[in-house]
Amino acid sequence: MRLRTRAGLGAVTTGLATVLLASTASAAPAPGAPGAGDPYYPYAGNGGYDVAHYDIRLTYQPATDQLAGTTTILATTTQELTSFDLDFGLQVSSIRVNNAPAAFRVTRPGELEVTPVRPLAKHQPITVVVTYADTPSKVVIDGYTAWKKTPDGALAVDEPQNAQWWYPSDDHPTDKATYDVSVEVPDDVAALSTGTLVRKTKQRAGWTRWNWRSTQPQNTYATTLEVGKFEVNQSATPDGKPFTTAYDPSAGESLAAAKASVERTPEIVGFLASQFGPYPFEAEGGVVSTGLTFALEAQTRPVYSTKFFVSGANTSVVAHENAHQWFGDSVSLGRWSDIWLNEGFASYAEYLWSEHQGEGTAAELAQYAYDSHPADAPFWQVLPGDPGVAAQFDDAVYDRGAMAVQALRTAVGDEAFFAILRGWVAQHRGGDARISDFVALAEQVSGKPLRQLFQTWLFTAGKPATGPNGTVTL
Ligand code: ARG
Ligand code: ZN
């Protein structure tokens, strides 16, 4: 589902290949573009259709890493189509489009071209059923495998690409959808995904099927799967939402610290809602696993590496991932180069939480981060507003990104600052937006010219000058 017009037509050169990113409006039916038009990832997403819902129904055997099943996609065409692409890396056995078998071929790793028997008309609902089976840990796309095998299960948790290793999709934040994720696993492991656990079912001895539902528009990468011997706890938040947490028992000594952090999620989400406006989703929670080295803002239920809790409780990371529920999950990126809209604000939320806890104000934390990087450090050479693929998750996107947010707050004052944040999440809720949209809103709400401030903090290499005579004050 798209709540906003896509980026315009254009072509991007990546290495040797020039990729046509969107087809022009023409009378003749044409193939859908193999990408959504994102300069960082030309093959991410696809052209010609818009997904409303994914129904993912799988069986997973941890002992062999065998994943098999069917994904049914409900979409609407946005042009007359002779063929269209799906982003997917696993071995497909059949595809049906509107109930008729369709031809398909792999055009490059992770890119599947589907040709229905007849061209598809414009603005028509389509149903695409993809049947597949594979060993995801063996699937390499662009030199990378996002699927993480663990001793007793696996994790489909990654960013920017994660879906290709477990379900076919239009893999770009500009096409969010609702989800039903149903995964059958051996009785001795749990299968966690996003949203609400609708029910657990059994139809054969030794296996249990876990049925999860996400009812709000959700990014492909924010849809995750975690299989393993988790300790699963289900309760409710004070305001009555399902609260589900899951802990990897192999966290060992860190397990208690993980619980002392993640169990506080409803309190932290309540604080963030007091800053940003109402929490956008139907459930809360968290999953802690030894099977990854980072944390990810899975919608409704972030996933955390146990490494965040090795030296004790860490509510900072809980504040960060839950701030992404507003900044990233509800308001999504128009392009991957806009990553500051996710990481700058989630990092700034850590400062706000610190201030709320009496552990240092946001201004103090921003100043400390600023002072801790000497002017000649490579840190200042990364542009948070356009870091490039290699530096997309560089510290500068997070830390200089949070300084940029503090610089805005200093420039416009608290009243305008929080009005901008709340206006932003209200205006773009369930959709996607770009940095230029944020700058325009900030200027509009504050009534101040801010282009130079954002230019300095997000788009100019080098350490910005601060202080009474500097151009920018933190
Ligand atoms: N959005 C995640 C976070 O802030 C970062 C994910 C980084 N991705 C990765 N593959 N390391 O917290
Ligand atoms: Zn983040």
Question: What is the DSSP secondary-structure string of 351-418?
Answer: HHHHHHHTS--HHHHHHHHHHTS-TTSGGGGS-TTS--STTTT-HHHHHHHHHHHHHHHHHH-HHHHH
The residues with which 281 forms a beta bridge, in sequence order, are none
How close is the Cα of 318 to the center of ligand 1, in Å?
13
pLDDT at 434: 98
Q: Which ligand is nearest to the CA of 341?
A: 2
What size, in residues, is the chain? Answer: 474
Residue 27: the pLDDT is 60
In the three-class reduction of DSSP (H, G, I as helix; E, B as strand; rest coil), residue 216 is classed as strand
The DSSP element (H or E) to which 255 belongs, if any, is helix 255-262
Non-local (6+) Cβ contacts of 13 within 8 A are none
List of the chain residues with pLDDT < 50 = 5-20, 22-23
Question: In angstroms, what is the span from residue 61 Cα to ligand 2's centroid?
Answer: 31
Query: Which pLDDT score, from 0 to 100, does residue 10 have?
Result: 38
Q: Please report, as a single letter, which amino acid is at residue 87.
A: D
pTM listed for this prediction: 0.94
- Asked if the peptide bond before residue 42 counts as cis, ω within 30 degrees of 0, the response is no
221 Cα: distance to centroid of ligand 2 (angstroms): 13
Specify the 3-state DSSP secondary structure of 17.
strand
Whether residue 299 contacts residue 219, with contact meaning beta carbons closer than 8 Å, is answered with: yes
- Cα 274 to averaged position of ligand 1 atoms, centre (Å): 25
For ligand 1, what atom is nearest to the CA of residue 293? Answer: 11
Q: How far apart are CA 289 and CA 225, in angstroms?
A: 12
pLDDT tens per residue across span 271-289: 999 999 999 999 999 999 9
CA-closest residue to ligand 1 atom 5: 296
Pick the closest to residue 347 from 312, 417, 310, 399 (CA basis).
399
The three-class DSSP label of residue 256 is: helix
How far apart are alpha carbons 263 and 101 in whole angstroms?
Answer: 48
Helices (H), 57-97: none
| pLDDT computed for residue 16 by the predictor | 43
Any alpha helices (H) in 19-146, and if so which ranges?
Answer: none
Q: Please say whether the beta carbons of 445 and 421 come within 8 A.
A: no
3-state helix, strand, coil in the chain (%, to 5): 30, 30, 40
| Secondary structure (3-state) at 30 | strand
Kindly give the distance from the C-alpha atom of residue 295 to the centroid of ligand 2, in angstroms, as a whole number. Answer: 8
Q: What angle do CA 262, 332, 113 make, to 5 degrees?
A: 110
Q: What is the pLDDT of residue 471?
A: 62
With a CB cutoff of 8 Å and minimum separation 6, the contacts of 16 are none
What pLDDT does residue 473 have? 77
Q: Which of 220, 289, 294 has most ligand 1 atoms within 8 Å of its beta carbon, as the pocket-test mutant?
A: 294
Cβ within 8 Å of residue 205, ≥6 positions away: none
| Residue 3 pLDDT | 66
Residue closest via CA to ligand 1's atom 1 equals 296
Closest ligand 1 atom to 342 CA: 1
- Ligand having the closest approach to the CA of 173: 1
Give the torsion through C-alpha atoms of 316, 317, 322, 325, to 10 deg. 130
ipTM, two decimals: 0.96
**Pocket of ligand 1, candidates 296, 314, 345: which has the most ligand atoms within 8 Å of its Cβ, to mutate?**
296
Atom of ligand 1 nearest to the CA of 343: 4
Question: Which residues' Cβ are closer than 6 Å to ligand 1?
Answer: 158-159, 294-297, 343, 346, 393
Q: Are strands 303-305 and 225-228 parallel, antiparallel or unpaired?
A: unpaired
Name the nearest CA neighbour of 451 among 465, 435, 463.
435
- Give the SS3 label for residue 273: helix
Query: Which pLDDT score, from 0 to 100, does residue 28 have?
Result: 84
C-alpha to C-alpha distance for 355 and 319, rounded to whole angstroms = 12
Which residue puts its alpha carbon closest to atom 11 of ligand 1? 294
Q: What is the DSSP letter of 78?
A: S
